[in-house]
A and B are shown apart, each in its own frame.
Chain A
Amino acid sequence: MSAILPPSDRLWWKQPIDKVEWAWIAIAFVWGMVMFVMMIYWHIYGKQNLSNEAYKTTPEMFAAKAEKFIAENTIRTETDQNIPVVKVPAGGDGYLIARLWAWYPILELEKGQTYKIHLSSMDYNHGFSLQPVNINIQVIPGYEHVVKMTPTKAGTYAIVCNEYCGIGHHSMLGRIYVK
């Protein structure tokens, strides 16, 4: 008779399903299909898709590439820590190192240009959280993620680390300039 007793009808699987229940199941199913198609639609027509381009790497290999990029493209340094501000060539590759507890270096981009930003971590998991745009990407040691980005508005942007990475986690703040 109730949900805490065996079904009163021994052949419960032969009972017909009510029309209203069928309708709700159909709605749930169709809605699932709509949500599935939306993701594919966005891959084809949408302009915000996370890149699939990623490579296995090591902290040493990635740091070497990033240092070369910084050495070739630095335009000035900022703050009393002399953090290099690196102008990423329009349409070119930029490197961003995540490490305890800094984003390195500062990148300078131009509005409307498309850049390939390479992300990797030197140590733990980190979280690339671009604010106030609010784009969030996981950064994992041993993986080089190449994300194509096109800034749509000029300004000064912050990179917050939003994956817990130890005691200095909350001081891990980076910067991107968009001219």
Chain B
Amino acid sequence: MATTYRTCPVSGLQFEDQAEKLMRWNAVAGVLWLLVGGITALLVILTRWPAIKLLPADQFYLILTAHGIDMLILWILFFEMAVLYFASSTLLRCRLATPKIAWLGFWLMVVGGIMTNVAIFQGESSVMFTSYVPMQAAPHFYLGIILVAVGALLGTAVFFGTLVVAKKDKTYQGSLPLVTFGALTAAIIATFTILAGAGILLPTFFWSVGLIKEIDAQLYRMVWWGLGHSSQQINVAAHVSVWYLTAAVIFGAKPLSEKVSRFAFLLYILFLQLASAHHLLSDPGMSAEWKVLNTSYFMYFAVMASMIHGFTVPGAIEAAQRRKGYTNGLFEWLRKAPWGNPVFSGMFISLVSFGFLGGISGVVLGTEQINMLMHNTFYVPGHFHTTVVTGTTLAFMSITYLLVPVLFRREMILPKLCQIQPYLFGISMSVLGLVMMGAGTLGVSRRHWDMAFSGAPFQYEWPGAAYLMMGLTGIFGVIAVIGGGLWILLVVGSLLFGKKLDGGKVSNQPTPIPPSTQAASAVAHGSDHVGVPGTVVLALLLFVCFVLYYFVNWKYLSEVWLLS
């Protein structure tokens, strides 16, 4: 098939014509969904802020459903499709396999996303992101999600096909680059996640049109979380790949050990699907043995994987910086990092927030008995706003500062604001996550319109601290929305008005990745080995926080009513 290859003069990255168009369209579609998700986020925040309480109950539950779907499914999936095409066609410098199927997948996702949103905004599908049966949405709510899933599955298949093309055309030698390997794990997880999703959403769709009489409510929860949680694992694998990508592009960092980093990715594939069980820890239908097994052996191997990446990503940066001569003290490498470059600052805030806040809270939340303290409280969204937002979304935002010049060939406008944006968004969102967890620790419910329980036969007054936490949630939520809005403004503004950049040389043939030289190979063999003491200190700090917070929660648990 006739296609062309463009070599970006700034980055040296090579873009195949079809892959480039697909990346752009997917990224732009993702940004538009983020815009819808951001507007709904503002409305949710302004309603849960007790002093404001903007929306009436029915609109609040509708908007909250839209917020979950548009952010967790649509914004992230579209962007991930762009990441998959980048990690395959661009990094391996080959043509994209079957671009027509990739376009079909794209349009299926567009149609499905719009269909589900239409269902939500018609008002008959305020069932939340989880859509637990027997609460029923309109049939096109489920059908839209199914179309999105099929579209994503096609995109994933194109990714796999592209890996085969690269191998066959010999555009690289040896093993896949680590970032592509990470994307491959994301794609493998995506495949079985989407199949689990089909396993529950197809019957639910048939049930909504009357072809199936009943779906067991407990069974639904179990299979649905095979979709709902595993899809977050796609995000983790994708954003960890983006972390490695950023470290490579900004610092020329190479992994401390290919073996360790790849093994950690492999653990994600093997264990995270089973760890979805931690959503069912307070459910009646499963035994304690089942819960402990699935959340310990299985989940802790995935936790271990994240702890490994949490060490090797900053470790790779430290090693690269020390090779450049930033060797004073423990942290000169970090102090002298390019904090004014939003690609780096966003990535590093993402790493820290995901590790310290999202990671620790997630493991504590996923402990069988401790889960009873937090299940379905505001702690849960607090947790996942520090995984999927400060982790995934912020990583995607920061890499976009790189993609706009190299992929869209536009200079970013307003560079000062670009510098500020990752701090504004990353820090406010991290604080937001913290105060949400604080409110949840005091018992405040998630997905709840009214802390004052208007219309209830009794009164219950939450502690004053809970109101304080919800007020802070409001304030930091609004700041975070401003930070996210600023990113959309900067990106869309740059795409429309940014200075056009030279696209670089276009060729009919891909230029293969040159094989690594003997010299490079010798260098890699450890003759330039440097220690990473700063990273060791950071990792130990994480570990101490982890252990303390974990046992504090056992202490809280020991103080509640006795249960057996």
Residues of A participating in the B interface, judged by any CB pair closer than 8 Å: 1-10, 12-13, 15-18, 20-21, 24-25, 27-29, 31-33, 35-36, 38-40, 42-43, 46-52, 54, 79, 81, 83, 102, 114, 119, 123-125, 127, 129-145, 147-152, 158, 160-175
Contacts and interface: CB of A to CB of B under 8 A. Distances in A.
A108 to B, nearest CB: 14
Given A39-B367, A173-B453, A131 B300 contact: no
A9 B527 CA distance: 13
Contact of B458 (A2, A29, A125, A158): A158
Interface of B: 57-58, 61, 91, 126, 128, 132, 134-135, 172-179, 216-218, 221, 244-245, 247-249, 252-260, 280-285, 287-288, 292, 295-297, 300-301, 303-304, 307-308, 311-312, 315-316, 363, 367-369, 372-377, 441-443, 445-450, 453-458, 460, 462-463, 513, 516, 520-521, 523-526, 529, 531-532, 536, 539, 543, 546-547, 550, 554, 557-558, 560-564
Contacts, number: 311
Contact of B448 (A36, A147, A169): A169
A142 B308 contact: no
Contacts of B134: 123-124, 141
- Nearest 4 A-B pairs (CB), nearest first? A32-B300, A145-B284, A158-B460, A162-B445
A174 B459 CA distance: 9
Contacts of A25: 260, 304, 308
Contacts of B287: 52
11 contacts: A4-B179, A5-B516, A21-B315, A31-B543, A47-B558, A48-B369, A136-B372, A160-B460, A170-B454, A170-B455, A173-B453
Contacts of A42: 368-369, 554
A31 B245 contact: no
A54 B291 CA distance: 14
Grouping DSSP codes into helix (H, G, I), strand (E, B) and loop, the A interface class, with mixed when no group exceeds half, is: mixed
Contact of A20 (B57, B91, B443, B532): B532
Contacts of A162: 375-377, 445-448
A102 B376 contact: no
Contacts of B303: 28, 32
A120 B391 CA distance: 37
Given A20-B536, A32-B296, A129-B376, A81 B176 contact: no
A55 B426 CA distance: 46
B256 A47 contact: no
Contacts of A18: 256-257, 529
A82 B408 CA distance: 67
A165 B176 CA distance: 48
A12 B498 CA distance: 42
Contacts of B367: 35, 38-39
Contact of A3 (B178, B315, B520, B529): B178
B176 A137 contact: no
A75 to B, nearest CB: 17
A137 B285 CA distance: 12
A115 to B, nearest CB: 10
Contacts of A36: 292, 296-297, 300
Contact of A12 (B259, B288, B377, B532): B259
Nearest to B373: A134
Contact of B562 (A16, A140, A149): A149
Contacts of B297: 36
Contacts of A13: 258-259
A40 B367 CA distance: 11
Contacts of B554: 38, 42
